[in-house]
Structure 1
Amino acid sequence: MRPEVSQLLYVSAREVSMERNQVVLVDQYDQEVGEMDKLLAHQRGELHRAFSIFIFNKAGQMLIHQRAAKKYHGGGLWTNACCSHPQKGEDLKSAAKERLGFEMGLVCDVERIFSFVYHSPVENGLIEHEYDHVFVGYTDVEPQPNPAEVQDYQWISLEELQQKIEQSPEQFTYWFKSALTRVIAALER
C-alpha cells in the first residue's frame, strides 16, 4: 500500500475514533449507570460524564476557542480550550489529553482540580446535564486547531475575559461561565 493511502486510512480511523458519539451516564456520585447516544442524552437531559480543560500560558493568559459553527450546540460560542466526553472504559485524564490534541493540536500535561454538576437548557431544545471534571494545564505552544472543531482561538487575560463575559454573556457557553469562577478560585488557593 502506498504511504499516502495508509496515512489517509490512519487519519480516517483516528477521526472516527474521536467522534465520541456515546456518553457515559452517571449518578450524582459519578458512578456509571449506563451508556447512551450523545445527542439523545442531550435531548433528554440525562446526567453524563464530561471533562473541561483550561489551558494557561506563562503570561497568565487563558486559551479560549470559538466552537465551529456547525456544532449541534454551542456552535460559534466561545469556551475553554477543550471540552468533551470520555468514552466507556477510558481513563479520564488520558481521554482529556487525547481530546486536547485532537481539537487544539496541543500536547501538555493536565491535572484535575475539581468536579461539579450543572444542568441547563441550551440552544436547539437541548439540555446540558453533566458531571464535569475540570482539568488545568500550562503551555506556551501555539495551538494548531482542528477546523472541524474550532472556528477561532485566542489567548486572553482573565481581566479582559471577565469583562467580555459581563458585556456579552450570550457569546460564551454555559459550562464555561459556570466553571470559570471555580477555576479562578481553585488557582488562587
Structure 2
Amino acid sequence: MSDQNLVPKPDDLFDVVDELDRVIAVRPRREVHALGLLHRAVHVLVFNDAGQLFLQKRSMKKDRQPGLWDSSASGHVDHGEDYDTAAIREFEEELGVKPPSNLTRWFKVEARPETDHEFVWVYRAYHNGPFRLHPIEIDDGAWFMPDHIEKWLAERPQDFASAVPVILAHARTLGQWPGCDLLHWPSQR
C-alpha cells in the first residue's frame, strides 16, 4: 500500500451508527465529522515488558487533533469493516509491524463528544518494538510509565487527543490502570 492510500480523504466512507452501535447509513468522512454523526473507531494500547505504554504523537498534517499525543495506534473503522479488522489494520499501518498474537479487545467506550462521536473499542497488546512509525500519520512516539502519563495528563491535558483521558479513565474504573493486572499478562505473551 502506498503512503497516499493512507492519507484520509474527505470522501472516504464510514458506517454511521445509531446509539446502540448498529449501522444505519453510509456517509462520507467529511459529512460524518461535520455533522457529528455517530461512527466507529479503534484504539490500541501497546505495553512493553517494562510495563511502559507506547504513545504516538499525531502528525501535524492530520486534519483532526494534529500534534497531540494519542494511543499507540488508532483510527476509524472503514465502511464494511469490523472493529477487529480495523485494529489489526491500524496497528500495521501506524506502527509498521505485524500485531502480536496477544492483541485482544479490552473494553468499549460509548460515543460522546470527547471521542469525536465515535464508539471506540480499545485493544491492548504486548510488543517491545521497535516500530516503523508511519511518517504521514505520526510525528513521534515514545514509551512512558503509566504514572508519568497520569501526572502529565493531570498537568497538561491539552497535550493529548481528546479520547485519551476518556480511555484511561475507563481503564481506571476497571481497576487496571495503572495496575499490575494491566502490566502482567503472562498467559498472553
Match of 2:135 in 1: 147
Rounded to whole Å, the distance in 2 between the matches of 1:161 and 1:17 is: 28
Higher fraction of strand: 1
Match of 1:60 in 2: 51
- Residue by residue, what CA displacement relative to the aligned partner does 1:142-181 show, whole Å, maximum 9, x if unpaired? 1110000000000000000111111110010110111012
With the length of structure 1 as denominator, give the TM-score of the two structures.
0.83
Whose Rg is larger?
1
Q: Which runs of 5+ in 2 are unaligned?
A: 182-189
Task: Tell me if 1:117 matches 2:110.
Answer: yes
Instruction: Write the letter of the residue equivalent to 2:39.
Output: H
Q: 1:94, CA displacement in angstroms?
A: 2.0
Contact map agreement 2:7 2:136 (CA 8 A) in 1: no
Q: How many residues align?
A: 173
CA RMSD for the aligned pairs? 2.0
Between the two proteins, what is the percent identity of the paired residues?
24
Match of 1:135 in 2: 123
Contact map agreement 1:118 1:175 (CA 8 A) in 2: no
Q: Which runs of 5+ in 1 are unaligned?
A: 1-10, 122-126
Task: Tell me if 1:91 matches 2:82.
Answer: yes
Contact map agreement 1:50 1:133 (CA 8 A) in 2: yes
Higher fraction of helix: 1
Aligned 1:102-113 pairs, distance under 5 A = 102-107=93-98, 108-109=100-101, 110-113=103-106
With the length of structure 2 as denominator, give the TM-score of the two structures.
0.83
Rounded to whole Å, the distance in 1 between the matches of 2:111 and 2:78 is: 19
Rounded to whole Å, the distance in 2 between the matches of 1:94 and 1:119 is: 23
Q: 1:120, CA displacement in angstroms?
A: 2.1
